[in-house]
Copies of this chain bind each other. A is one copy, B any other.
Amino acid sequence: MHQPLIQHIRRFVSITDKEAGQILPLFEFHNVKKKTILQQGGTLCDERYFVCKGCLRSYLVDEEDTAQVLQFAIENWWITDYGCFGLQTPSALYIQALEDAEVLVLTSASMQQLLERLPVLEKYFRLVAEKAYNASILRNYYMVSLTVEERYKHFRDAFPEFLQRVPQYMLASYLGFTPEFLSRMRARGV
């Protein structure tokens, strides 16, 4: 049970079974229903989420009340507002479950304890952050150097599972184009 996190950690650093046993008690395991808002825009952000099962998204809401999707998180991804986590600054970010999901919740206080007990996890979180940072830089590159159609194809080929799991209008938002255009591309057989 709840082993995905331990397995994920072991892909980056080695920990003994005894150490592994100390980890999960600092998390809360949550079953969340589809559409649940885990992080409400405008409130403090004191939790980071590890997705064991299901799919989450983060998004911002602009003046015209339209949501812009920033990130998707499926199995084995971490998601939070890294700019506000554990600070006294309210976060504008929303985090929502797009499917019924199982998440491990780590508060900033628990994270501090966790890192004091198992300093090797500092390396784990560093490697995860550096990997995510790299992916984000690459994403930026695709945004500016590919056309909409190329971007869609690239995403579709890189993450085929995704297309079935998220509504098209959210995918369009994430990839930076309109749902109408996505619909037209698909009609064209792309």
Contacts and interface: CB of A to CB of B under 8 A. Distances in A.
Contacts of A68: 141, 144-145
A29 B171 CA distance: 45
Interface of A: 60, 62, 68, 70-71, 81-83, 115, 119, 122-123, 125-126, 129-134, 136-141, 143-145, 173, 176
B71 A137 contact: yes
8 contacts: A68-B145, A82-B130, A122-B123, A125-B130, A126-B126, A132-B133, A143-B176, A144-B176
Q: What are the nearest 4 A-B pairs in CB distance?
A: A144-B176, A126-B126, A129-B129, A136-B136
DSSP majority for the A interface? helix
A62 B144 contact: no
Contact of A137 (B70, B115, B131): B70
A141 B70 contact: yes
Contacts of A83: 131, 134, 138
